Amino acid sequence: MAMARRSGSHLLSSFRPFSLLLQPPLADAPSPAASAAVASARRALSSASALRARDEKDAARWRESMDRMRNIGISAHIDSGKTTLTERVLYYTGRIHEIHEVRGRDGVGAKMDSMDLEREKGITIQSAATYCTWKGYQVNIIDTPGHVDFTIEVERALRVLDGAILVLCSVGGVQSQSITVDRQMRRYEIPRVAFINKLDRMGADPWKVLNQARSKLRHHNAAVQVPIGLEEEFEGLVDLVEMKAYKFEGSSGQNVTAYDVPSNMADLVNEKRRELIEVVSEVDDQLAEAFLNDEPITANQLKAAIRRATVARKFIPVYMGSAFKNKGVQPLLDGVLDYLPCPLEVDNYALDQNNSEEKVLLAGTPAEPLVALAFKLEEGRFGQLTYLRIYDGVIRKGDFIYNVNTGKKIKVPRLVRMHSNEMEDIQEAHAGQIVAVFGVDCASGDTFTDGTVKYTMTSMNVPEPVMSLAVSPISKDSGGQFSKALNRFQKEDPTFRVGLDPESGQTIISGMGELHLDIYVERIKREYKVDAKVGKPRVNFRETITQRAEFDYLHKKQSGGQGQYGRVCGYVEPLPSGSGGKFEFDNMIIGQAIPSNFIPAIEKGFREACNSIVLTDGASHQVDSSELAFKLAAIYAFRQCYTAAKPVILEPVMKVELKFPTEFQGTVTGDMNKRKGIIVGNEQEGDDTIVVCHVPLNNMFGYATAIRSVTQGKGEFTMEYLEHNIVSQDVQMQLVNSYKAAKGTE
């Protein structure tokens, strides 16, 4: 019995800890310390689960917020209707309460063209950011310029966006700047929808434009809408996904009425819907399976397939309408929500500076450390305004952030959301948003973090300037303001360069074209009250060599004390066409004819030659050789062999697209031939002729006036940099003689 009792008591004691959770213990009450420990453990468990629940709730809130966000840009050729479309979007989403036109007679002008110059000229010069809400989604929009002169504005906007609307004119079709903008979208891997605008205009043909996009832009696309009537009879649209017809009624097209597809359009609508399904099936396996099995395709199935294909950049849905006539804008907004990605669906990469610039995929969530890119600068009323795209983490007013490029720690004094030139103060912003900060000194392209990571975002592509002007202030007293203006513009615009001509001492400004530089000269006058004197536009010529030439040069100078001694031998030769750099230096010396510590000085001396240079031999002196001696030897060696290498001058050649009424074809092409233009394309478009030619930039000055005068103001042209080409012998002689004459008069 005693045995059994011991065994029983042993069993009971072994279960006693378990009884703490189930019922009061049968034996002694626990000590106060044990009770406190249990209570503490319970509190810790409770707070941990509460924290986890809160984190999960926060994560769900962030995810929903980012799922309901779109960052889009609106880009197109000049006068395709980008700013007009943005104005309608802002009106229908309730951000503005009146519609104003780009060249409005009411003196107000479109909301996104906030600069006086933009309203006067009826063009967009700077990209403008805004945001709006549509059906519970936040849409951040950047309206970009169409002129090639302001291409950097498009470049930096696309760098930070997740999706885009490519606007095409239903009459003009795919034009030169449409091709450039599409190329930029490809470079930054931007999913996009196309919008064929101006269906109310005479000669509108959306199907021609859709086919042009396939052939010229290599778009895998199909229409998701069919217009009801065209030109003056344009009434509404048929949605091929939902199979519903829509009309836009009310004074500003704000009332969208849905009704059944008109019976006289049934055949066309069925044919176009089948084409849409076929085109999407080619790039989406799920839809292809249903299509091949002859299963009926529901609207939801088709919508999901279009979204998958668009986000994967395998398909471009094509919308239609007329922004000016207030038709088709609301369905386009629905398309932005339905088919363009949210920030979480886009892969963004940073370079880890602590790990040899290894590529890092950013999570794109607010839970990660802050990573933000400064993509645009503006001088505002309250100091420098810096536009930021936040890729990871959260930024709050009053936070300290680190500029990875400069290593500086900066406090965020003011955080705002932009609505064209108006600001709305906010306390914080999270991953996926586009905001602006005040009082942060940085350059365009700098990356900011919270200091826990050292990431930089990949840089954007900045094209080289093609034209230069000599400028100087008329009044010597305004030199300070003049310098201030140039420094500010240079900081804001990476394609605007300022330099000093070492020979003439003149200030030289360089940019992307005549209009680009004219705008800056005008802004100096308006914003800084400085009248500037402008010299003749100068083209940025280059020089190169055409054949290999040997050099063997000894630089020897004795002037008491240590002299200068350096001998270099080698050859110069032209780089093969298509080489990435302008200069290559090869050290092919075998042995120690020249000590290795002098080689960088030799390379420095040759660098201004900007061609392929090979060093094969040389000689040095134990006492008299120095870095300066070898640098001078390299410079003189290059001068010695340069003439033997048969140098030639290169000039910038522009790709020019002309559009004018056919009746003026003879006069316009004759004028182009006089300007040494080579015609590479000629096509008919209704009553207009479109001519594409390659023309030296030096012969294109003042062409805007010339084409207007020969076409009675009906002709237009666009111009973009193509390449640098060798000038003809007579032009080369002319340039050399004018340079010698200019040197002689000094």
Higher pLDDT, 169 or 47: 169
- Banded pLDDT at 19 (limits 50, 70, 90): very low
Task: Give the confidence band of 502 by pLDDT, cuts at 50, 70, 90.
Answer: low
pLDDT score of 225 more than 80 = yes
Average the pLDDT over each of 152-161, 239-248, 276-285, 521-530 and give the range with the smallest value: 152-161
| Structure confidence at residue 624 as a pLDDT band (50, 70, 90) | low
Whether the CB-CB separation of 657 and 692 falls below 8 Å is answered with yes
> Which pair of structure tokens corresponds to residue 588?
């092919």
The kind and range of the H/E element at 239 are: strand 236-239
The whole-number pLDDT of residue 519 equals: 84
Identify the bridge partners of residue 690 per DSSP, sorted by sequence position.
659, 683
More confident residue, 33 or 222: 222
**pLDDT at residue 24 greater than cutoff 50:** no
Cα–Cα distance for residue pair 736/740, rounded to 1 Å: 6
Extended beta strands in 33-77, E state = 69-76
Between CA 111 and CA 386 the distance in angstroms is: 20
Question: In this predicted structure, what is the pLDDT of residue 25?
Answer: 44
**590 or 296: which leads in pLDDT:** 296
Confidence of residue 48 (pLDDT cuts 50, 70, 90): low
The helix (H) or strand (E) run that includes residue 671 is helix 665-674
For 659, phi then psi, to 5°, come to -135, 120
Given a cut of 50, whether residue 414 has pLDDT beyond it is yes
Two structure tokens written together for 378: 């503006």
Mark the binding-site residues, compressed into ranges: 76-83, 143-147, 197-200
Between 417 and 5, the higher pLDDT residue? 417
pLDDT, position 2: 39
pLDDT average, residue stretch 627-654:
81
User: How high is the pLDDT of residue 685?
Assistant: 78
* 309 band by pLDDT with thresholds 50, 70 and 90: very high
Higher pLDDT, 38 or 411: 411
CA 295, 297, 298, 301 dihedral sign is positive
Buried b (16+ CB within 10 A) or exposed e, 536-554: ebebbbeebbeeebebebe
**For residue 459, pLDDT beyond 50:** yes
Q: Please determine, for residue 30, whether its predicted confidence score (pLDDT) is greater than 70.
A: no
Residues in the chain: 746
DSSP characters over 143-200: E---SGGGHHHHHHHHHH-SEEEEEEETTTBS-HHHHHHHHHHHHTT--EEEEEE-TT
Segment holding 82, helix H or strand E:
helix 82-92
The residues, any chain, with a CB within 8 Å of residue 197's CB and separated by 6 or more, are 80, 81, 85, 167, 168, 169, 170, 321, 322, 323
Task: Quote the radius of gyration of the chain (alpha carbons, Å).
Answer: 34
In this prediction, residue 146 carries a pLDDT of 62
pLDDT band at 17 (very low <50, low <70, confident <90, very high): very low
Q: What's the one-letter identity of residue 152?
A: I
pTM confidence score: 0.68
201: pLDDT strictly greater than 70: yes
pLDDT in tens, 720-731: 888 888 888 888
Handedness of CA 438, 439, 440, 445 (dihedral sign): positive
DSSP string, 302-359: HHHHHHHHHHTTS-EEEEE-BTTTTBSHHHHHHHHHHHSPPGGGS--EEEETTTTTEE
Strands (E) located in 362-513: 371-380, 383-392, 394-396, 400-403, 409-411, 414-419, 422-425, 428-430, 434-438, 447-449, 455-457, 467-473, 497-500, 507-511
- With cut-offs at 50, 70 and 90, classify the pLDDT of residue 735: confident
Cβ-contact 196, 210 below 8 angstroms: yes
Smallest CA-to-CA distance from 270 within 236, 246, 240 is with 240
pLDDT for 107 beyond 80: no
Interatomic CA distance for residues 236 and 508, integer angstroms = 53
Give the separation between CA 589 and CA 314, rounded to whole angstroms: 52
Q: What is the pLDDT of residue 219?
A: 92
- ∠ Cα 8 14 15 (to 5°): 95
Q: Which of 93-107, 238-252, 643-657 has the lowest mean pLDDT?
A: 93-107
Question: Cα separation of 197 and 187, whole Å?
Answer: 24
- Span 394-418, mean pLDDT? 88
pLDDT at 590: 75
User: Residue 32: is its pLDDT beyond 70?
Assistant: no
Torsion of CA 393, 396, 399, 401, to 10 degrees: 40
Mean pLDDT of 339-361: 87
Give the pLDDT score at 27: 45
More confident residue, 516 or 42: 516
Residue burial 224-236, b: 16+ Cβ < 10 Å; e: rest? bbbbbebeeebeb
Sheet of 549-557, strand order: 549-557, 564-573, 612-619, 584-587
Most trustworthy range by pLDDT among 18-22, 159-163, 319-323, 688-692: 319-323
Q: Is 227 helix (H, G, I), strand (E, B) or coil?
A: strand
Confidence of residue 618 (pLDDT cuts 50, 70, 90): low
Q: Where are the alpha helices (DSSP H) in 445-497?
A: 479-492
Q: How many CB atoms lie within 10 A of CB 744?
A: 7
Per-residue confidence (pLDDT) for residue 382, from 0 to 100: 65
Tokens representing residue 629 in the block? 């001696």
Q: Token digits for 544?
A: 């190169």
DSSP one-letter code for 136: T
Cα atoms found within 13 Å of the Cα of residue 676, Cβ hemisphere only: 14
pLDDT at 630: 77
Is residue 279 within 8 Å of residue 221, measured between CB atoms? yes
Alpha helices (runs of H) in 235-326, residue ranges in sequence order: 266-281, 285-292, 299-311
- Asked if residue 53 has pLDDT above 60, the reply is no
Burial class from Cβ neighbours inside 10 Å (0-12, 13-18, 19+) for residue 265 reads: middle
User: Which one is predicted more confidently, 371 or 741?
Assistant: 371
Give residue 195's pLDDT: 94
Average pLDDT on 552-573 reads 77
Residues belonging to the binding site for GTP are: 76-83, 143-147, 197-200
Paired strand residues for 69: 138
Q: With CA atoms as reference, report the closest residue to 599 among 623, 570, 573.
A: 570
Taking the C-alpha atoms of residue 194 and residue 328, their distance in angstroms, rounded to an integer, is 12
What is the DSSP-derived secondary structure letter of residue 561?
Answer: S
Burial zone of 117 (CB within 10 Å; 0-12 exposed, 13-18 middle, 19+ buried): middle
Amino acid 289 reads E
DSSP 192-222: EEEEEE-TTSTT--HHHHHHHHHHHS---EE
Label residue 223 by pLDDT band (50, 70, 90).
very high
Q: Given a cut of 50, is residue 5 above it in pLDDT?
A: no
pLDDT of 268 above 70: yes
Q: From 194, 220, 239, select the one nearest 279 (Cα to Cα).
A: 220
Q: Which residue has the higher pLDDT, 433 or 124?
A: 433
* Of 577, 687, 545, 563, nearest in space to 622 by CA: 563
d(CA 44, CA 46): 5
Q: If you average pLDDT over every residue of the chain, what do you get?
A: 80
The answer to whether 410 and 383 have CB atoms below 8 angstroms apart is: no
What is the Cα–Cα distance from 76 to 180, expressed in whole angstroms?
9
